[in-house]
Amino acid sequence: RRMEEAEARSAAADAYASQPVTTRDGRVLAVLANAGSVDEVERAIRSGADGIGLFRSEFLYMQRQDGFPDEQVQTAAYARAAELCGGRPLVIRTLDIGGDKSLPYYRFPEEENPFLGWRAIRVSLELRDMFRTQLRAILRASARGGVRVMFPMIVSLAELRDALALLEECKEELRRQEVPFDDRIPVGVMIETPAAVFMADELAAEVDFFSIGTNDLTQYVLAVDRGNRRIAAMYDTLHPAVVRAMRLTVDAAHRHGCEVGICGEFAGCVAHAELLVGLGFDELSVAPPSVPAVKERIRGLETPQAELTARRAVEAATASEVHELIGVG
Ligand code: PEP
Ligand code: MG
């Protein structure tokens, strides 16, 4: 009987999956999906996603053998993804390579701590021609509508400003070449490091949106390697330190009229929806198969109750208290 009930619930969730989602008391949220390829964008939209909250562009670089993808190849992929999104948001994250991700055609330096090393925006800001190529491709695809650009692993305003200046230069070039693009393309940063959390006010003043990457944020706040089985039990996004980091970030974003979402795997678990709604997130970006269930859960939530849960989680002294509070063992 329980299996039948679960199947009925899942069928009902699927039926409403592509409808916009509001809480019981009418607060509007967006449930988008994470995608690692153009095919995945298609699956995500079919699952009812309100758009793509994280398009991991590195797949384009990792699946090649013979060098960085050129502007043509990238423009085609991003434009196709934008077309599949049909005007819904498509958040393209610029290359997040390094750490545990390497490229067959590029020699990364040997590093003792790759996750604290040369990765993501640090690589892009150094390999500037490669970065320009990607920014130009994203801008060209933005002519289709819905495209947003997001920078990974930001730790300082200096990095953000450097990336923004390059984006402006690319816009200027395209203008001169009379290539169409969305001049008001929204720009965002991923909040994945403690530094970004503490600088959230300054960062929020200069961008349109934030997306918290809890996969990395958890690893960096707790100093627990996200891929190390030996300490996997310590890797806990419900640790009050991580919950407080989310609260600081959401509040800073909203003080500056900056939208804030979450795109770590944590958001895809229905049990976490109440906490996330209560913390004030505007959007959740989850793995495509989780879209219907997360939307269904949000439809059953009341904002005041969710806010109370979030307040208690922020005030909790231990991770077990937070687990108990939201009913996750
Ligand atoms: C994250 O860190 O939460 C994130 C979404 O980025 P990735 O998992 O690709 O590092
Ligand atoms: Mg990350």
Average pLDDT over every residue of 41-65: 96
196 three-class SS:
helix
Average pLDDT over every residue of 31-36: 98
Task: Look at residue 39 and tell me if it is in a domain.
Answer: yes
Q: What percent of the chain has pLDDT over 90?
A: 91
DSSP code of 178? T
Report which of 261, 249, 264 is spatially closest to residue 215, judged by C-alpha positions.
Answer: 264
Nearby residues of 154 by Cβ (< 8 Å), 6 or more positions away: 121, 160, 163, 189, 190, 191, 192, 193, 196, 203
> Within 13 A of 155's CA, how many CA atoms are on the CB side?
14
Total number of domains in the chain: 1
Per-residue pLDDT, 14? 74
pLDDT tens digits for range 218-243 = 999 999 999 999 999 999 999 999 99
Amino acid at site 79? A
Residue 29 has pLDDT above 80, yes or no: yes
Query: Domain holding 64: CATH number?
Result: 3.20.20.60
Average pLDDT over every residue of 12-35: 90
Per-residue pLDDT, 16? 76
Task: Look at residue 11 and tell me if it is in a domain.
Answer: no
pLDDT tens digits for range 120-146 = 999 999 999 999 999 999 999 999 999
Residue 110 has pLDDT above 70, yes or no: yes
Nearby residues of 43 by Cβ (< 8 Å), 6 or more positions away: 35, 288
Does the beta carbon of 213 lie inside 6 Å of ligand 1?
yes
CA of 44 to the centre of ligand 2 (A): 20
Mutation pick for ligand 1 pocket among 37, 40, 52, 56 (CB with most ligand atoms within 8 Å): 56
Per-residue pLDDT, 8? 75
Task: Look at residue 2 and tell me if it is in a domain.
Answer: no
Does the beta carbon of 215 lie inside 6 Å of ligand 1?
yes
Residue 5 has pLDDT above 80, yes or no: no
Average pLDDT over every residue of 13-35: 91
DSSP code of 234? G
Average pLDDT over every residue of 47-75: 96
Task: Look at residue 244 and tell me if it is in a domain.
Answer: yes
Q: What domain range is 39 assigned to?
A: 21-326
Residue with tokens 């996004």: 237
Residue 323 has pLDDT above 80, yes or no: yes
Task: Look at residue 228 and tell me if it is in a domain.
Answer: yes
Average per-residue pLDDT in the chain? 95
Residue 11 has pLDDT above 90, yes or no: no
Task: Look at residue 77 and tell me if it is in a domain.
Answer: yes
* CB-based neighbours (< 5 A) of ligand 2, an ion: 192, 213, 216
Residue of the CA atom closest to atom 6 of ligand 1:
213
Report which of 21, 147, 125 is spatially closest to residue 79, judged by C-alpha positions.
Answer: 147
Task: Look at residue 9 and tell me if it is in a domain.
Answer: no
Residue 313 has pLDDT above 90, yes or no: yes
Residue 329 has pLDDT above 70, yes or no: no
Are the CB atoms for 261 and 211 separated by under 8 Å?
A: yes
Average pLDDT over every residue of 35-43: 96
Task: Look at residue 16 and tell me if it is in a domain.
Answer: no
HEC readout, 170-225: HHHHHHHCCCCCCCCCCEEEEECCHHHHHCHHHHHCCCCEEEECHHHHHHHHHCCC
How sure is the predictor about 181, in pLDDT bands with cuts at 50, 70 and 90? very high
Average pLDDT over every residue of 189-211: 98
Per-residue pLDDT, 116? 96
Q: Which atom of ligand 1 is nearest to the CA of 264?
A: 3
Per-residue pLDDT, 1? 81
